[in-house]
Structure 1
Amino acid sequence: MNVFVPLTELITYLLFSILIGHVSLQFVSPEKKPSIHTSKRLLLSCVLGIILFTFGPLLQVVAYFGGSVGVAQTLFSVLFTFEIGKAWIAIVWCSILLWLAIYLESSKYIQAVLLFLMVLSIGYASHVASLSFWTGFTSHTVHFLAVTLWAGILIQVSWFSKDSTNWDRFLRWFTPFAVTCMIVILISGIMVMLFVVDFKSYINAWILPYGQMLLLKHISIIPLLVFAFINSVLVRKLRKKTGFDPRPWIKAESICLVITFFFTGVLGTLSPPHDITLTVKSEGAAKWVSNLLSSPIKLPVNLDITPSLQGAIAISFGVLFLIMIFLSFYKRKEPFLAVFFTICFITSTYLGLMTSIEIR
């Protein structure tokens, strides 16, 4: 279950992204985008997949409570009394209608409305919505929509485009669109985070598995910004001189985006530390952090960043790996080498930060 549920969260993000990207690009005129073909069978499979994989979090709740009152009774209770169950039922109904809309090739407006209702259901079932309904519901919905819009269009143009025609015209509107999405993602993401961890407790949260995944997610965003700069600014300059095909680099960016989705999926399965000291007292700290600190954890938790030789070396290597992403682009190396450098950057920067923390 510890592996299954994060996997379902990851796949859910991908399926929503493919569908939202497909529907969004229907509103863009043909001369402003590459020639794209997404098979109807894949789209229909994505809709059915959403029904299946959005059931993962419900299964986790049923497994948690099912031992005391029985699986059947727990499932009935979760579906009809828990917000997450009501949201899943709404997703199922909208998915059925969306499946029919895609199969019958009905209006793009109908498909867009149904997808938006499914996104609203995701926001309704979120943890932050249960803490403060309107603020939490709005911030999570906006965050999820902005992420899947940006990722969806990237996936469509990189994996399903036939060629790179109209690419310059595509970048003229997609670059400001992507920048807007990123700003919205950062603002709404901070709002979602502050429901669980405030700025003052951000470093203290690293003592817990939730804080570890939050840190990894934030680190993984940095190379995404590098790829976004390469694919929006540098690619445009290069195409003026040569007939450069940008699609492989967009594919590499989408793969890095999947890494961020993975951390997000794991994050959604962990207990949010509303009170870090109380959570450490009741559940204990992350084993990896306890071993790394090699000293007993004091309560209340008070961690701080202290410069260290190991940390400085690791973070320096992280910066070098970022530079190597740029160099691999300028040297026309395979873009998947840049994905490897991305993984190296995340690992090195993470180790650099973790070896620099000290218990106060």
Structure 2
Amino acid sequence: MNVLVPLTELITYLLFSILIGHVSLQFVSPEKKPSIHTSKKLLLSCVLGIILFTFGPLLQVVTYFGGSVGVAQTLFSVLFTFEIGKAWIAIVWCSILLWLAIYLESSKYIQTVLLFLMVLSIGYASHVASLSFWTGFTSHTVHFLAVTLWAGILIQVSWFSKDSTNWDRFLRWFTPFAVSCMIVILISGVIVMLFVIDIKDYINAWVLPYGQMLLLKHISIIPLLAFAFINGILVRKIRKTPTFDPRPWVKAESVSVLIAFFFTGILGTLSPPHDINLTVKSEGAANWVINLLGSSIKTPVNLQLLGSFQGIVAFIFGVLFFIMIFLSFYKKKTPILAVFLALCSIISTYLGLMLSIELR
């Protein structure tokens, strides 16, 4: 279950991105985008997949409570009394209608409305919405929508485009659009985070699994920005090269997005630490952090980021790997190498930070 539920979260993000990217690009004129073909079978499968994989969080709740009152009664209770169950029912109904709309090739406006209702359902079921409904619901919905819009268009143009025609015209509108999405993602992401963790406790939260995943998610955004800069700015300078195809580099960026989705999926299955000291007392700290510090973690938690030789070396390697992403582009190496360098940068930066912490 610990592996299954995060996997369903990751796939949910991916399926929503494919559908939202497909529908949103229908509003873009043909001369401002590459020629794209997404099979109807894939789109219909994505809709059915959303019904299946959004059930993952419900399954986690049912498993948690099912042992005391029975699985059937717990499932009924979760579906009709929990917000997460009500949201899933709404997603099912909207998915059925969306499946029919895609199958019958109905209006793009109908598909847009149904997808937006499904996104609203995701926001309604979020943890932050249960803490402060309107602020939490709005911030999570906006965050999810901005992420899937950006990622969805990336996936569509990189994996489903037939060629790179109209690429310059595509970049003219997509680059400012992507920048706008990133700004919205960062602002809404901070708002969502502040519902769970006070900014002054951000480092202290690293003693918990939730804080670890939050840190990895934030670090994974850094190489993603490198790919975004390459595909949005640098690629224009070598577009005149006849043999150059920008799509593999956009594919690399979409893979980098999936890495961030992976950490986000795990994060969504962990208990948010509203009170770090209380969470450490009740659930304990992350085993990796305990082993790293070489001692048990006592409350009140006071974790400080101090420089250490090993940490500085690891952090420098993280920076070097980050720079090498750009070098691999200039040297015209395969984008697969750039993705590998991005992973190395994430790991090295993470180790650099973790090896520099000290419990006071």
Supply the distance in 2 between the matched residues of 1:230 and 1:243 (Cα, whole angstroms): 17
Please tell me whether residue 66 in structure 1 is matched to residue 66 in structure 2: yes
Could you state the TM-score of these two structures normalised by the residue count of structure 1? 0.99
Supply the distance in 1 between the matched residues of 2:182 and 2:240 (Cα, whole angstroms): 26
SS across alignment from 2:304: strand
- Which digits, 9 at most, give the CA deviation of each residue in 1:178-224, with x for residues without a partner? 00000000000000000001110000000000000000000000000
SS across alignment from 1:19: helix
**Matched residue type, 2:58:** L
Gaps of 5+ in 2: none
Supply the distance in 2 between the matched residues of 1:283 and 1:113 (Cα, whole angstroms): 42
Structure 2 match to 1:148: 148
- Which digits, 9 at most, give the CA deviation of each residue in 1:214-254, with x for residues without a partner? 00000000000000000000001111354421000000110
Contact kept in structure 2, 1:298 and 1:359, CA below 8 Å: no
Q: How does 1:3-42 map to 2 (within 5 A)?
A: 3-42=3-42
SS across alignment from 2:12: helix
Contact kept in structure 2, 1:10 and 1:265, CA below 8 Å: yes
Supply the distance in 2 between the matched residues of 1:287 and 1:307 (Cα, whole angstroms): 22
Report how many residues are paired.
Answer: 360
Supply the distance in 2 between the matched residues of 1:242 and 1:320 (Cα, whole angstroms): 31
Q: How does 1:250-261 map to 2 (within 5 A)?
A: 250-261=250-261
Task: Note the C-alpha offset of 1:127.
Answer: 0.2
**RMSD value, Cα:** 0.6
Task: Note the C-alpha offset of 1:295.
Answer: 2.5
Q: How does 1:160-309 map to 2 (within 5 A)?
A: 160-309=160-309
Q: Kindly report structure 1 stretches of 4+ aligned residues shifted beyond 3 Å.
A: 240-243
Supply the distance in 1 between the matched residues of 2:246 and 2:46 (Cα, whole angstroms): 26
Contact kept in structure 2, 1:54 and 1:88, CA below 8 Å: yes
SS across alignment from 2:225: helix
What fraction of aligned residue pairs are identical, expressed as a percent?
86
Supply the distance in 1 between the matched residues of 2:296 and 2:35 (Cα, whole angstroms): 59
**Matched residue type, 1:288:** W
Supply the distance in 2 between the matched residues of 1:329 and 1:132 (Cα, whole angstroms): 45
SS across alignment from 1:340: helix
33-42 vs 231-240, which moves further:
231-240
- Which digits, 9 at most, give the CA deviation of each residue in 1:57-104, with x for residues without a partner? 000000000000000000000000000000000000000000000000
SS across alignment from 1:333: coil
SS across alignment from 2:157: helix
Supply the distance in 2 between the matched residues of 1:242 and 1:227 (Cα, whole angstroms): 22
Supply the distance in 2 between the matched residues of 1:196 and 1:243 (Cα, whole angstroms): 49
Q: How does 1:303-318 map to 2 (within 5 A)?
A: 303-318=303-318
**Matched residue type, 2:231:** N
Supply the distance in 1 between the matched residues of 2:259 and 2:239 (Cα, whole angstroms): 28
**Matched residue type, 1:93:** W
SS across alignment from 2:240: helix
Contact kept in structure 2, 1:13 and 1:148, CA below 8 Å: yes
Please tell me whether residue 343 in structure 1 is matched to residue 328 in structure 2: no
Gaps of 5+ in 1: none
SS across alignment from 1:358: strand
SS across alignment from 1:195: helix
Structure 2 match to 1:111: 111
